[in-house]
Amino acid sequence: MKLVLLGAPGAGKGTLASYLVEKMGVPTISTGNMLRAAIADGTELGKQAKSYMDAGDLVPDSLILGLIKERLAQPDCKNGCILDGFPRNVPQAEALESMVPMDCALSLEVADETIVGRMSSRRVCLTCGATYNLTNMKTKVEGVCDKCGNPVVIRKDDAPETVLARLKTYHDQTEPVKGFYEKLGKLKTIPGDVAMEEVQKLACEALGL
Ligand code: AP5
């Protein structure tokens, strides 16, 4: 299955993707993680993307589309993929649909107030992309990633003022992507503000897994 995960920043897309990857046996492609890796590696893409990400804006489509096209052409995507963080606006969704049509777009619905609270307690591993939370998903050893042993940190764009900018960007540019998939009959919606196990169950039901 080729699946798009939609939802506001902090809705739980990455957390759900790391569960679905086992169930579906296809890779997760997170454009956010790819961009953070490019910044860490000091590549030209990373240099160009950084200021947009720090401000909570979208990175220009011209940078993202080439990246995703190259990734989707990799052999591990031949049986499907889970897209987390792409498409982020209607032009990206149109480009994706003409490149590799998706089977389903699953949207996680979470109120903005809940998101602001979640982001302040989120911690991430910038090496492997694993996500944790100080309230309900702690690392086994404080400050150390369970998966790869590297430090877990606060993401730079999780500062409260940047979270508000990202939410605005989401409502202005990404929310209309739901309408795009709805018109194609591919949109499914589940609540994302319930316990993680419940989100996983609802996602499996919606996807027929
Ligand atoms: P990206 O990395 O994609 O960030 P995002 O979409 O803003 O999403 P997040 O990673 O912040 O949140 P999430 O939904 O994955 O939530 P998570 O599972 O971590 O993008 C970052 C930036 O890169 C963008 O702002 C943009 O600049 C750029 N970019 C990326 N893609 C782009 C594109 N296609 N085009 C242009 N620019 C692009 O969960 C959040 C927290 O909540 C965690 O702590 C988690 O433990 C917790 N949590 C999860 N589920 C639950 C639950 N059910 N109950 C309680 N807590 C929960």
Tell me the pLDDT of the chain (209 aa) as tens digits: 999 999 999 999 999 999 999 999 999 999 999 999 999 999 999 999 999 999 999 999 999 999 999 999 999 999 999 999 999 999 999 999 999 999 999 999 999 999 999 999 999 998 998 999 999 999 999 999 999 999 999 999 999 999 999 999 999 999 999 999 999 999 999 999 999 999 999 999 999 99
- Are 23 and 204 contacting, i.e. CB atoms less than 8 angstroms apart? yes
Catalytic residues: 13, 88, 122, 155, 166
Best of 21, 118, 158 for a ligand 1 pocket test (most atoms within 8 Å of beta carbon):
118
Provide the pLDDT for residue 157: 92
pTM for this predicted structure: 0.95
| Contacts (Cβ under 8 Å, ≥6 apart) of 2 | 80, 81, 83, 100, 101, 102, 103, 104
Provide the pLDDT for residue 154: 94
> Residues, the chain, total?
209
- Is 129 near ligand 1, meaning CB less than 6 Å away? no
- Is 35 near ligand 1, meaning CB less than 6 Å away? yes
Alpha helices in 60-130 (DSSP H): 61-72, 90-99, 112-120
Q: Are strands 122-125 and 104-109 parallel, antiparallel or unpaired?
A: unpaired
Provide the pLDDT for residue 134: 95
DSSP string, 135-188: TTB--SBTTB-TTT--BEE--GGGSHHHHHHHHHHIIIIITHHHHHHHHTT-EE
| Nearest one of 74, 190, 84 to 129, comparing CA atoms | 84
Give dist(CA 7, CA 108) in Å, integer: 5
| Nearest one of 141, 114, 122 to 195, comparing CA atoms | 114
Provide the pLDDT for residue 166: 96
- Is 162 near ligand 1, meaning CB less than 6 Å away? no
- Is 155 near ligand 1, meaning CB less than 6 Å away? no
Q: How many whole angstroms from 135 Cα to the centroid of ligand 1?
A: 17
Nearest CA, atom 12, ligand 1: 10
Provide the pLDDT for residue 78: 94
Provide the pLDDT for residue 90: 98
Structure tokens of 72? 């989707």
Q: How many whole angstroms from 112 Cα to the centroid of ligand 1?
A: 13
Q: Which atom of ligand 1 is nearest to the CA of 89?
A: 35
Q: How many whole angstroms from 125 Cα to the centroid of ligand 1?
A: 13
